[in-house]
Amino acid sequence: MTAPFPPSDRTRVRRAAHYAHYERATLHAIIDDAYVCHVAFADASGTHNIPTACWREGEYLYIHGSNGGRMMKVMGQGTQVCVAITHLDGLVLARTAFNHSMNYRSAMIYGAFEAVDGAAEKRHAMEVFMNRIAPGRHADVGPGSDKEFDATTIMRIGLGEAACKVREGGPRDDEEDLALPSWAGVLPFARQRLAPVRDAQCTSPEPEYLAGWARR
């Protein structure tokens, strides 16, 4: 499951190539830590870059939307896309301005989306998506109606042509700069889960599957 992808001409990382990763496990982890991706594509009016919810199952990244949405229509034509996900983990302060950097985990997926067809396949995909919020959420809220499914397009893109870049750790100053007096280190970020905010009209007890939300 963690065999490396062979990089394509598009996914071979050239800048800061020592940060490149082509292992599936790295790609999976970056996608699985994301709720949103950016989908870049071109149509007659130019190049666009649309944020949309995403999730993964196996070797596919999934998105969904209303049948009538522009992106779903363009994706339905097999348009080539580049899907990007970036997690910013910290600002890296070096002893010189030009050695400053950032710690991040980013993934880039090239290819084209294909529609997930079939009632069972669509229902399964949305179940995976709902349980991505928290395992057990799907069972609590139940599936959509046939009408809702009919109005929704679910699409997926294979992870075959993908690359990741990961930078971690402290500044990498040049040897001759180590004695410079400016502070050097990392200013880290984390994604914090705050306590669930119950809807004013909700009287249901907080479900088991949310108990750990703010601690995760």
Which range in 21-29, 54-62, 113-121, 196-204 contacts a second copy by CB under 8 A? 196-204
Select the residue interacting with a second copy from 20, 115, 128, 186 (CB under 8 A): 186
- In the complex with a second copy, the residue whose CB is nearer, 29 or 40, is 40
Select the residue interacting with a second copy from 78, 80, 150, 174 (CB under 8 A): 80
Dist CA 212 CA 205 (whole Å): 14
Q: Check: CB of residue 95 under 8 Å from CB of residue 186.
A: no
- In the complex with a second copy, the residue whose CB is nearer, 27 or 108, is 108
Strand pairing report for 101-112 and 60-66: unpaired
Select the residue interacting with a second copy from 20, 115, 128, 133 (CB under 8 A): 133
Which string of x and - marks every residue 7-46 that binds a second copy (by CB under 8 A)?
Answer: --xx---xx-------------------xx-xxxxx--xx
Q: Which residues contact 187 (CB under 8 A, 6 or more apart)?
A: 90, 91, 93
Dist CA 113 CA 116 (whole Å): 9
Q: Does the protein bind a second copy through residue 120 (CB under 8 A)? A: no
- Please report how close the Cβ of residue 3 comes to a second copy at its closest, in angstroms: 25
3-state secondary structure of 173: coil
Question: Tokens in use for 103?
Answer: 């710690």
Q: Does the protein bind a second copy through residue 67 (CB under 8 A)? A: no
Q: Which residues contact 86 (CB under 8 A, 6 or more apart)?
A: 104, 105, 106, 107
- In the complex with a second copy, the residue whose CB is nearer, 5 or 83, is 83
